[in-house]
Amino acid sequence: MSRVNPNILISGTPGVGKSSLASVLAQKTGLVWLNVGQFAKENNCLGDWDPEYECHEMDEDKVLDLLEEKQKAGGLIVEHHVTDLFPERWFDIVFVLRTNNTSLYDRLNARGYNKKKLEENLQCEIFQTILDEAKASYREELVHELPINTQEDQESNTARILEWIQAWHQDKGKVRTTKRKAN
C-alpha cells in the first residue's frame, strides 16, 4: 500500500526554527506534526538524565519501534535534530534548516543552555554537522538545505514546502493513473 500523504523530516541544530516551521506546515496541510523529543517523553522513551547536557538520553530503539507503524501510513512532519536515526525509507523528503550564528546564540542563550551545550550547538551549526549527516544518511535528491534567518525566510520556506507537497500529490496521481491504464 502506498502512502496517501508524504512523510517529511525537518531537521537542524536546536534553535534554528524547526518547531515553528513544522507547526505552520501542520496547520496549513493537515499533516501530523511529530516532535520526536516530545514523542519520546509522552511514550516513556527517556533514559537517564545527562547532567553535562542537562537533558535526558533517549531510548532510540524504543522510539523507532513505536514510530515504525505510524510512518507507514504517511502524512507525518517529523521534527528532530538528529537525521541519521531514521531509515531512509521513512521519508519522501528531508529539509535541513540553517541559521546564522548570532540568531542561534541568542535563541539558545534565551533557552538557558549551559556554556558547553551552547558552544557545541553553535559549532554544530558552523560546521554544518546536521546537513552533512543528512547527506550521508539519505539520497542526495531527498536532502534540501533551507535558510531560516528571518520571518521572510520562514514564509518562503513554507511556500516552497507547500509547493513540493502539491507536486508530490500530482506525481502520485500520475503513478495511479499509469497503473490503472496498465491493468
Largest CA distance in the chain: 62
Range of the domain at 27: 8-169
Is residue 178 in some structural domain? no
Is residue 59 in some structural domain? yes
Q: What is the pLDDT of residue 183?
A: 44
Is residue 1 in some structural domain? no
Q: Per residue in 51-107, pLDDT tens?
A: 887 889 999 999 999 999 899 999 999 999 999 999 999 999 999 999 999 999 999
Is residue 174 in some structural domain? no
pTM above 0.85, yes or no: yes
- Beta strand 93-98 pairing with 143-147: parallel
**Choice between 170 and 181, residue whose per-residue pLDDT is larger:** 170
Q: Cα dist. 146→17, 55, 136, 141 in Å?
A: 11, 27, 17, 14
118 touches 126 (CB < 8 A): no
Q: How many domains are contained in the chain?
A: 1
To which H or E segment does residue 11 belong? strand 8-12
Mapped onto helix, strand or coil, the DSSP state of residue 81 is: coil
- Could you give the residue ranges of the DSSP H alpha helices within 30-142? 36-42, 60-73, 101-110, 115-126, 129-137
Mean pLDDT is lowest, of 53-57, 133-137, 164-168, for 53-57
Is residue 72 in some structural domain? yes
Q: What is the rounded distance in angstroms from the CA atom of residue 71 to the CA atom of residue 5?
A: 10
Is residue 147 in some structural domain? yes
Mean pLDDT of 108-112: 95
Q: Give me the CATH number covering residue 53.
A: 3.40.50.300
Is residue 183 in some structural domain? no
